[in-house]
Amino acid sequence: MRYQIAVEAAMGLCYLHHDCAPRIVHRDIKSNNILLDLEMHAHVSDFGLAKFLQEDGASRWISSILGTLGYIASEYAETLRVDEKSDAYNFGVVNVGANYMEKTNRGIGGLNEHCGVG
């Protein structure tokens, strides 16, 4: 299930970065901004910080750092330049967190089964 959610969220980002006109960088990919519908299909949400990407593929300069602490790519924080690589970094942080939580929750000695989790 987690794998399918990750794939669908990645497909949404791919659409924003490559197929959307104009192309969009989200700038705030985090677990709270990947929503699930009733069929458990993932959708990227919350475009409040989104910016259009340059048509020539160049990074876009931003005047201030915005986003969620812990998800912000270090090169974005240092250079104030954003592109699809910034979203890819954020997406990686989301996936590392999801995989870590899955492994952590598995190791609670039967508590998951007792609580009906998992």
- Report the residue count for the chain: 118
Average pLDDT, the chain: 83
- Our answer to whether residue 28 is catalytic in this structure is yes
Neighbours of 59 (CB within 10 A): 18
Kind and range of the H or E element at 39? none
pLDDT per position as a tens digit, 24-47: 999 999 999 999 999 999 999 999
Examine the pLDDT at 87 and tell me if it is beyond 50.
yes
> Given its phi and psi angles, is residue 57 left (phi above 0), alpha (psi -120 to 50 degrees) or beta?
left
What does the alpha-carbon distance between residue 9 and residue 19 come to, in Å, rounded to a whole number?
15
Across 49-74, average pLDDT: 81
What's this model's pTM, rounded to 2 decimal places?
0.76
pLDDT at 116: 47
Task: Please tell me which residue, 108 or 77, carries the higher pLDDT value.
Answer: 77
Neighbours of 49 (CB within 10 A): 16
What does the alpha-carbon distance between residue 60 and residue 109 come to, in Å, rounded to a whole number?
48
Q: Which of 28, 46, 56, 87 is catalytic?
A: 28
pLDDT at 103: 55
Examine the pLDDT at 48 and tell me if it is beyond 70.
yes
Domains assigned to the chain: 2-107 (1.10.510.10)
Neighbours of 111 (CB within 10 A): 11
What does the alpha-carbon distance between residue 29 and residue 71 come to, in Å, rounded to a whole number?
8
